[in-house]
Amino acid sequence: MPSKQYAILVDRLKDLSYLGSALGLLHWDQEVHMPPAGAEMRARTIGYLSGRTHEQFLALDKDKLLSKLAVALKDKDTAEAASVRDVWRSYRREKKLPVKFVREFSELCSEAHVVWAKARETSDFSLFQPLLEKIVAMKRQEAEYVGYKDSPYDALLDAYEPGATCAQLSPVFSELRDFLQPFIRRIVRAAASQPSLPDLKGTFPIEKQKAFNALVAEKMGFSHAAGKIDVSTHPFTMGFHPQDVRITTRYDERDALYAIGSTVHEVGHALYEQGLPVEHFGTPLGEAVSLGLHESQSRVWENQIGKGRAFWTYFYPKLQKAFPKPFKRVVFEDFFRIVNQVRPSLIRTESDEVTYNLHIILRYEIEKGLIEENLKVKDLPGIWKAKMKEYLGVCVPDDRQGVLQDVHWSGGSIGYFPTYTLGNLYAAQFYAAALRELPRLQTDVAKGRFAPVREWLRQKIHVHGKLHSAQVLVKNVTGEELSSRYFIEYLKTKYGELYGV
Ligand SMILES: [Zn+2]
């Protein structure tokens, strides 16, 4: 009986996905191709289609189809049941928010985004402060509408990382923070006494860089027939269907490594999208588990694999050949040290894999404090400066390079940041499991054989779509719950060797 009803639900979900694809393409075009004067019309088109999508989404239950299925399959342990549970979860969240509230919040964010951009440009937090106060107040309201057990912040986290809570994250993040602070201090001290490294700047024609990046992507297993690489200011990945996955990267004529890092990261995301099961397109079983899980797939390629010795053993000779100046005269060991340089810095998106998570933990603590009403928006610039000094030992000269640097809050995204660190932790834990199960992983990668590790990730993670929650998937794949241990061990081994700490 549920199967027939489920088939009707799947048809409705597919219709929603077609709308989602159309919307996605408009967003993609906006970032990649659209002429600047098209912005206003595009915003209106996207607004209209988003409204229609929202109506369609709520119509999933027009004849009580969804709610009946949710009751019938409540405690069942089948793929259909998992799929229905996920749709039901998002449906109920959406239903709990009054339409008027959603509209007001979206208008507030449009205004806040413009003001934030101006505030950042002039490095003046006081411009943005009243809008951020309103955003925080509305996000608290959202948490009340949605409901929560312990912390209102849990209700916000849940939108990005279903099932994650402060009770789960706080101890993991604290352990990581307490390890990182002294570890980074030791690296900084050790780096001061190391010989200086060669300069890798030069002139790298963009067309040649594009060819090199396309080669890296292809070797990793990115299908150019089912995907495309374009250029945008902020790199991103967008999957319309496993057969059509778009990524973007960005190039710097003076720095060949600038693009490679972001390409490898986005290809990691793209491999997840290209690896989702086509037969489940449109349903949760054909979707990525969560933002944190998605990020784990980009990070494992960007960091554990893409900044590893094996990866560069294979690619460095190719890089030297493509760009003899300056790489021909730089020995592998120096190059490898440069790729893995640790430097506490001001800007999150430019930070290395060791210091990165302290940028996130700082944001998590601030967001949680704001939503739990232990911190006030007006105090944020000072809190930001104090924490940056304490965690990373850096002095924040102005708000532009401090509290105003990220776009997230102006778009109403509170509860999003932790998914980046979750991604790093999942990545290290998955990679440790892959190394246990694939003893030849490093040797294979050093020879340019990326299929074993890619297929391992695909079979263990990608093909399951949203069949399991992030928490269950991590346990299934690695044998234990999420822990910061594997990430800490990974850093200790790698940077212990590089810096002698
Ligand atoms: Zn990412």
What is the structure's pLDDT at 107?
A: 87
Q: How far from chain centre, in Å, is Cα 34?
A: 25
The reply to whether 19 and 134 lie within a common domain is yes
What domain range includes position 381? 166-196+346-418
Q: With a cut of 90, say whether residue 2 has pLDDT above it.
A: no
The alpha carbon of 456 and the centre of ligand 1 are apart by a number of angstroms equal to: 20
Whole-number Å distance between alpha carbons of 62 and 67: 10
Which of 390, 418, 446 is the last residue before a domain boundary? 418
Does 87 share its domain with 114?
yes
Last residue of a domain, one of 418, 448, 472: 418
Average pLDDT for residues 109-136, to the nearest whole number? Answer: 95
Q: What are phi and psi of 412, to 5 degrees?
A: 85, 10
Q: CA 82 to CA 474: how far, in whole Å?
A: 17
Predicted confidence at residue 474, as pLDDT, reads 97
> From ligand 1's centre to the CA of 230, what distance in Å?
16
Residue 159 forms part of a structural domain? no
Whether 129 and 29 share a structural domain: yes
Calculate how far, in angstroms, residue 250's C-alpha sits from the geometric centre of ligand 1: 14
Q: pLDDT (tens digit, 9 = 90+) per residue, 30-48?
A: 989 999 899 889 888 988 8
Q: Which residues have their alpha-adjacent CB atom under 5 A from ion ligand 1?
A: 298
Is residue 49 pLDDT above 60, yes or no? yes
Res 1 pLDDT > 80: no
- Tell whether 160 is covered by a domain: no
Q: Is residue 459 part of a domain?
A: yes
In a domain, 430, yes or no: no
Final residue before a domain boundary, out of 88, 120, 151: 151
Active site residue 266: yes
Residues 6+ apart with CB under 8 A from 395: 385, 388, 389
Average per-residue pLDDT for the chain: 96
Mapped onto helix, strand or coil, the DSSP state of residue 247 is: strand
Q: Does any domain span residue 129?
A: yes
Question: Tell me, what's the pLDDT at 103?
Answer: 84
- In total, how many domains does the chain have? 3
Query: Ligand 1 centroid to 27 CA: how many Å?
Result: 17
Q: How far is ligand 1, taken at its centre, from the CA of residue 282, in Å?
A: 22
Q: What is the pLDDT of residue 69?
A: 96
Same-domain status, 133 and 81: yes
Would you place residue 119 in the very low, low, confident or very high pLDDT band (cuts 50, 70, 90)? very high
- 70, 192: one domain: no
Among 80, 266, 295, 353, which one carries the catalytic annotation? 266
Q: What are phi and psi of 201, to 5 degrees?
A: -75, 155
Residue 31's contacts (CB-CB under 8 Å, 6 or more residues apart) are 232, 233, 234, 236, 248
Instruction: Tell me the CA–centroid distance for residue 462 and ligand 1, in Å.
Output: 16
57 with 22, same domain: the answer is yes
Q: What is the pLDDT of residue 39?
A: 85
Distance from the CA of 419 to the center of ligand 1, in angstroms?
10
| Same-domain status, 78 and 176 | no
Instruction: Return the axis-axis angle of helices 332-339 and 309-322, rounded to nearest 10°.
Output: 110
- pLDDT tens digits along 200-230: 999 999 999 999 999 999 999 999 999 999 9
Residue 121's contacts (CB-CB under 8 Å, 6 or more residues apart) are 400
Q: 294 C-alpha vs ligand 1 centroid, how far in Å?
A: 7
| CB 268 within 8 Å of CB 300 | yes
Domain-embedded: residue 175: yes
Integer Cα distance of 153 and 133 in angstroms: 16
Same domain membership, residue 81 and residue 17: yes
Residues 134 and 86 in one domain: yes
Q: Looking at residues 5-29, what average pLDDT do you find? A: 95
Rounded CA-CA distance 214/221 in Å is 11
pLDDT of residue 36: 87
Tell me: do 229 and 299 sit in the same domain: yes
CATH of the domain at 314: 1.10.1370.30
Q: What is the pTM of this model?
A: 0.95
Specify if 425 maps to a domain: no
Segment 64-84, tens digit of pLDDT: 999 999 999 999 999 999 999
User: Are 325 and 352 contained in the same domain?
Assistant: no
361 CA → ligand 1 middle, Å: 17
Q: Is the pLDDT of residue 110 over 90?
A: no
Residue 428 lies in a domain: no
Write the pLDDT tens digit of every residue in 136-188.
999 999 999 999 999 999 999 999 999 999 999 999 999 999 999 999 999 99
pLDDT of residue 3: 86
Whether residue 144 sits in one domain with residue 18: yes
